[in-house]
Chains A and B, each alone.
Chain A
Amino acid sequence: MTLPARINGWVRVVPAWPIYILAVVNLLWEFWLALNGLRQYAVEPINVLERQYGEIALIMLIAGLFITPIRNWTGVNLVKYRRAIGLSAFLFVLAHFLVFAVLDVQSVSRVVTEVIKRPYVTVGFAAFVLLIPLAVTSNNRSIRKLGPVRWRKLHMLTYPIVVLSGLHYIWLVKGWPIEPFAYMVVILALLFVRIKWTGIRDYLAKRDASASS
């Protein structure tokens, strides 16, 4: 049996629900560390927790984008974990936003000002808002109700969401640290491999054919 086939065999028996447990435990663990000023939270827990939740959210969003290319290239099908990964990403985005709003800027009027006035907050907030319909429709009932075509179309919002998230990080930093740019490179690469080159070639060929006739 080939390795991809063997992995697919494991996938059939390993359920997705532990991802939810891991996400919630991780979220609470980081909060507990920050609350007690432990490890990296010793001096400035608010800013560090805000960034920690944000970075985990970004990693989870990017992880979700890996599922399809992995299947296309290796035959390993991890799609049964994608909903849990996406919902966990949303959980961390929500936590990231709440730390920003409640613990960091600390007032509704300042949250509104920041979202309107600061472009990096605007794009981050836009990503958060766009994620809400995806989280709400991430259940079988919604897929049935919307129909698979419309549901899939709606969930293509993931692409702008992850680009906005990467931009949000780059826009926020001072100088040229590696991490935000590295994430953006990965994001753009994952979008690049999704471009349907054959589709574009066929379209151009058809257009040329109709122009010459």
Chain B
Amino acid sequence: MAYRWKNDLTPADVTPKSLFLNRRQLIAGTAGLGAIAVAGGARAQDALVPNSFEDITTYNNFYEFGTGKTDPVQNASAMVIDPWTVTIDGMVDNPGEYALADLLDGLETEERIYRFRCVEAWSMVVPWNGVELADILDKVGVQDGAQYVAFETVVQPENMPGVRRNVIDFPYVEGLRLDEARHPLTMMATGIYGEPMPKQNGAPMRLVVPWKYGFKSIKSIVRITLTDTQPPTTWNNINAREYGFYSNVNPTVDHPRWSQATERLIGGGLFSSRQDTLMFNGYEEEVASLYEGMDLTANY
């Protein structure tokens, strides 16, 4: 069942393609929508103005294609995404290799405008299209005793210069606690702005966990494994002191090398000012209960 979570903004607030292709028009066009969103919103929150399609698709971290921010848009076109098979295994009732279309068949695709906060202290607002991960998990049947979900990104060395250079260990792996994975905010995204997911953003299907740092939202997923032990995660393997398993957005717990108290919203130009980072990236009301009683400084 989709639509468990209600956007403060509705799909109608997503800027039409004719407008989002032009950033200046986008800003002018959403000035009025902000007022509508606040009036209809369940809680006071700054109206989220999505970043332009250009911002979202030309400034990416996708190390399989290189470590530079423009490497993904330059190199990702070589990635083969059709056909696409997702292996689902571990503690599930219906393990197997699923064609993407079969996995998504019958599930409700929604539009969700989420804040996206990178661990590098920049952020964007992205209008995702996708399904709730919980719906996929229900479809394959999670067995009793499963406590974690592990994810794995595709590896295509011949198409991925970053993989050939071993800039980090591949395949990229990520994981969530099962209750995090089942949370209605957690989605499997298949598009942006109503367009199919661009390759540099993790085509054809990627995770989106809006209250965690962006690297948790693993791209181009080929394997989903249900398990009873905490799965290894790529950045935690590289540097456990800097990147924890949880990696919830938290302005009070700094990255050892830089502050997480503020962030720069992409798209403001050379003189854009910093803004305060919100607890759980602004989704505190929705997700704080998942971590009740946990020391968030120890479990960063």
Contact = CB atoms under 8 A, between A and B. Distances in A.
Interface of A: 34-35, 37, 40-49, 103-106, 110, 113-114, 117-120, 171-178
B137 interface: no
B259 A45 contact: no
Contacts of B63: 175
Contacts of A173: 67
Given A43-B266, A46-B264, A118 B258 contact: yes
11 contacts: A35-B269, A43-B55, A43-B59, A43-B266, A45-B270, A47-B264, A117-B254, A117-B259, A171-B257, A173-B67, A176-B168
Contact of B122 (A40, A47, A172): A47
A37 B269 contact: yes
Per DSSP, chain B at the interface is: loop
Nearest to A113: B259
B282 interface: no
Q: Looking at A48, A175, A177, which has the most chain B CB atoms within 10 Å of its CB?
A: A175
Interface of B: 54-55, 58-59, 63, 67-70, 120, 122, 165-168, 235, 238, 254, 257-259, 264, 266-267, 269-274
Contacts of B264: 44, 46-47, 104
Q: Looking at A44, A118, A119, which has the most chain B CB atoms within 10 Å of its CB?
A: A44
B257 A119 contact: yes
Nearest to B242: A174
Contacts of A46: 264, 270, 272
Contacts of B266: 43-44
A177 B67 contact: yes
Contacts of A43: 54-55, 58-59, 69, 266-267
Contact of A176 (B69, B166, B269, B273): B166
A41 B166 CA distance: 27
A106 B273 contact: yes
Q: Can you list the 3 inter-chain pairs with the closest CB atoms, starting with the nearest?
A: A43-B59, A177-B67, A175-B168
A103 B58 CA distance: 22
B165 A178 contact: yes
A44 B257 contact: no
B69 A44 contact: yes
A178 B112 CA distance: 37
A42 B270 contact: no
B125 to A, nearest CB: 14
B257 to A, nearest CB: 6
B54 A42 contact: yes
Nearest to A177: B67
Contacts of B168: 175-176
Contacts of A113: 259
Nearest to A105: B274
Contacts of A40: 70
Contact of B270 (A49, A118, A174): A49
Q: Looking at A43, A105, A119, A177, which has the most chain B CB atoms within 10 Å of its CB?
A: A43
Nearest to A47: B122
Nearest to A33: B270
Given A42-B58, A103-B271, A114 B259 contact: yes
Nearest to B119: A174
A44 B167 contact: no
Contacts of B54: 42-43
A44 B166 contact: no
Contacts of B55: 43
Given A40-B70, A44-B122, A120 B271 contact: no
A175 B237 CA distance: 11
Contacts of A42: 54, 58
A45 B166 contact: no
A175 to B, nearest CB: 5
B73 to A, nearest CB: 10
Nearest to A43: B59
A172 B257 contact: yes
A161 B117 CA distance: 34
A153 B110 CA distance: 68
Nearest to A179: B67
